[in-house]
C-alpha cells in the first residue's frame, strides 16, 4: 500500500488516501518519493483546463530514492537518488532528433495519466503515470528515460522542482532562445519559471533584464536574481515600461503567465528581429491576437517552448553545478510543506503568496 493525494472531481481538494500499488513492469522503476514541487500545471489539470482523467494522482516535480526496478532496467538500481521529469516515447521523429519535449505522443505519455502502451494504471481505478510519475504520493512508478541521477550534495527537496518549473524557465533562455551576451530580455511573470529565466538571462550575459509581474514582492526577488528593471503590471503598462528601459524594445521576451493579454504585450515589446517565447499554459483552446504587420515587417518571431527544450539527463546536471557554485539559488523562492498540508500549499501557490511550494513527503 502507498499513500497518495487523489483529486476526484474538477476543482476538488487533494485527499490523502491509501492505495494499492500494482506490480512493476519490466521497463518501470519504483521511486520512494521524498519531495515534490507543486506546479501551475498540477493546478490547471486539477481544475480541468487540460483534460486529465479523474480520479487522478497528480504531481510531476518529484525526487526520491529508487526502491525497486523492473527486469529490463539497467541504468538505475535500488538506493539511487533520482529526480523525475517528463516522459516521452523515444521513437517518434522528434524523439529521434533528441527533442522528447516535442514527442508526437507527448499527451499520451504525460497528460493521459495512464500507461501509454495499454491505458492501464499502476493504481488500478485511480489514474497515475501523470508526466510519467504522479509524484503526489509516497511512491511513484517512473521509467528509466524520465529519471535523472542526483548528486549526493543537493537535498532532494531542493532538487525536486528542477524537473519541470525550474528547467522550463532556465531552459527557455539557455536552450531555446539562446540570447547573445549584451542582448536584452524581458519576462512576463515572476513565478518559479520566470525567476529561473531571470537567473538564466543573467548567466547568459544579457545586459538588460526586465521582469514584469503584478506583485511587487516577486519583482523584488527578481532584482536580487539579476533583473535590471522591473514593471508592476497592475499599475504600469508593461510595454511602455520596457521601452523606457530599452528604446526599440527587447531582443527576447518570454511569456510565462498563460495570459493572452500578457502574450500580446510580450510581442509588442519586441525590437525588430526580436523573438517571443511562450511557456505560460492557459486553458486548452485559448486564443490570442497580435498585429500581423508589426510581426511581419520587422522579422519578429513568436514560438512555443515546452519544458525549456531540456534533455533532463544532460541539462539538469548543468543546473545542479550552477546551484552548487551559488550561481543558481532557486531555493530562495521555495517554501516547504508537509505532505498533509498539500491543499494549503496549493492555495498558497494560487494566491501568489508562495512562489514555489515543495511538499516533504518521505
Query: Each residue of 210-240: pLDDT tens digit?
Result: 999 999 999 999 999 999 999 999 999 999 9
* Contact in structure between 252 and 184 (CB atoms under 8 Å): yes
Go through the domains of the chain in sequence order and give each one's CATH number.
Answer: 2-163+329-360 (3.90.180.10), 166-306 (3.40.50.720)
pLDDT (mean) for 24-32: 97
Quote the percentage of the chain above a pLDDT of 70: 100
Query: Each residue of 131-190: pLDDT tens digit?
Result: 999 999 999 999 999 999 999 999 999 999 999 999 999 999 999 999 999 999 999 999
pTM over 0.95: yes
The one-character DSSP state at 177 is: I
pLDDT at 207: 98
The per-residue pLDDT of the chain, averaged, comes to 97
pLDDT at 27: 95
Question: Would you say residue 362 has pLDDT above 90?
Answer: no
Query: Each residue of 188-215: pLDDT tens digit?
Result: 999 999 999 999 999 999 999 999 999 9
Distance CA(342)–CA(13), nearest Å, equals: 9
Cell numbers for 261:
493579454
Distance CA(81)–CA(166), nearest Å, equals: 19
Distance CA(214)–CA(234), nearest Å, equals: 5
* Contact in structure between 35 and 70 (CB atoms under 8 Å): no
Query: Each residue of 70-105: pLDDT tens digit?
Result: 999 999 999 999 999 999 999 999 999 999 999 999
pLDDT (mean) for 45-66: 97
* Contact in structure between 109 and 132 (CB atoms under 8 Å): yes
Residue 311: CB atoms within 10 A of its CB come to 18
Cross-strand bridge partners of residue 63: 35, 83
In angstroms, the first-to-last Cα distance of the chain is: 15
pLDDT (mean) for 337-352: 96
Nearby residues of 302 by Cβ (< 8 Å), 6 or more positions away: 267, 275, 276, 278, 290, 295
Distance CA(275)–CA(250), nearest Å, equals: 9
The one-character DSSP state at 161 is: G
pLDDT at 159: 98
* Contact in structure between 114 and 129 (CB atoms under 8 Å): yes
Distance CA(218)–CA(192), nearest Å, equals: 10
* Contact in structure between 119 and 2 (CB atoms under 8 Å): no
Residue 168 DSSP SS3: helix
Q: How many CA atoms lie within 13 A of 21 on its CB side?
A: 23
Distance CA(63)–CA(316), nearest Å, equals: 13
List, edge to edge, every strand of the sheet that includes 2-7: 15-19, 2-7, 56-57
Q: Identify the CA nearest to 226 among candidates 205, 253, 250, 256.
A: 205
Amino acid at each position: 500500500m502507498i499513500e497518495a493525494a487523489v483529486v476526484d472531481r474538477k476543482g476538488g481538494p487533494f485527499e490523502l488516501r491509501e492505495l494499492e500499488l500494482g506490480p512493476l513492469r519490466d521497463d518501470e522503476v519504483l521511486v520512494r518519493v521524498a519531495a515534490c514541487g507543486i506546479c501551475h500545471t498540477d493546478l490547471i489539470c486539477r481544475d480541468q483546463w487540460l483534460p486529465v482523467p479523474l480520479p487522478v494522482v497528480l504531481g510531476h516535480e518529484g525526487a526520491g530514492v529508487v526502491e525497486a526496478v523492473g527486469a529490463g532496467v539497467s541504468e538505475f538500481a535500488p538506493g539511487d537518488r533520482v529526480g523525475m521529469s517528463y516522459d516521452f516515447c523515444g521513437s517518434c521523429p522528434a524523439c529521434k532528433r533528441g527533442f522528447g519535449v516535442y514527442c508526437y505522443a507527448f499527451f499520451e505519455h504525460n497528460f493521459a495519466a495512464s500507461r501509454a502502451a495499454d491505458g492501464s494504471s499502476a493504481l488500478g481505478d485511480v489514474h497515475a503515470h501523470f508526466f510519467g510519475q504522479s509524484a503526489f504520493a509516497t511512491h511513484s512508478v517512473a521509467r528509466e528515460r524520465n529519471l535523472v541521477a542526483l548528486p549526493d550534495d543537493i537535498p532532494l527537496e531542493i532538487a525536486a522542482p528542477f524537473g519541470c518549473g525550474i528547467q522550463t524557465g532556465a531552459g527557455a533562455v539557455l536552450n531555446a532562445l539562446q540570447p547573445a551576451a549584451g542582448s536584452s530580455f524581458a519576462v512576463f511573470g515572476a513565478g518559479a519559471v520566470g525567476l529561473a529565466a531571470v537567473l538564466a538571462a543573467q548567466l547568459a550575459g544579457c545586459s538588460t533584464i526586465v521582469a514584469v509581474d503584478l506583485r511587487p514582492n516577486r519583482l523584488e526577488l527578481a532584482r536580487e536574481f539579476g533583473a535590471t528593471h522591473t514593471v508592476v503590471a497592475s499599475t504600469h503598462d508593461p510595454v511602455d515600461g520596457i521601452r523606457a528601459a530599452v528604446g526599440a524594445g527587447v531582443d527576447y521576451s518570454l511569456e510565462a503567465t498563460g495570459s493572452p493579454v500578457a502574450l500580446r504585450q510580450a510581442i509588442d515589446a519586441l525590437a525588430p528581429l526580436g523573438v517571443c517565447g511562450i511557456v505560460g499554459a492557459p486553458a486548452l483552446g485559448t486564443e490570442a491576437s497580435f498585429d500581423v504587420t508589426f510581426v511581419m515587417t520587422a522579422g519578429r518571431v513568436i514560438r512555443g517552448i515546452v519544458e525549456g527544450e531540456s534533455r533532463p539527463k544532460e541539462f539538469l546536471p548543468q543546473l545542479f553545478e550552477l546551484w552548487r557554485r551559488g550561481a543558481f539559488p532557486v531555493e530562495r523562492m521555495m517554501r516547504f510543506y508537509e505532505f498533509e498540508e498539500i491543499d494549503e500549499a496549493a492555495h498558497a501557490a494560487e494566491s501568489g503568496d508562495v512562489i514555489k511550494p515543495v511538499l516533504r513527503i518521505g
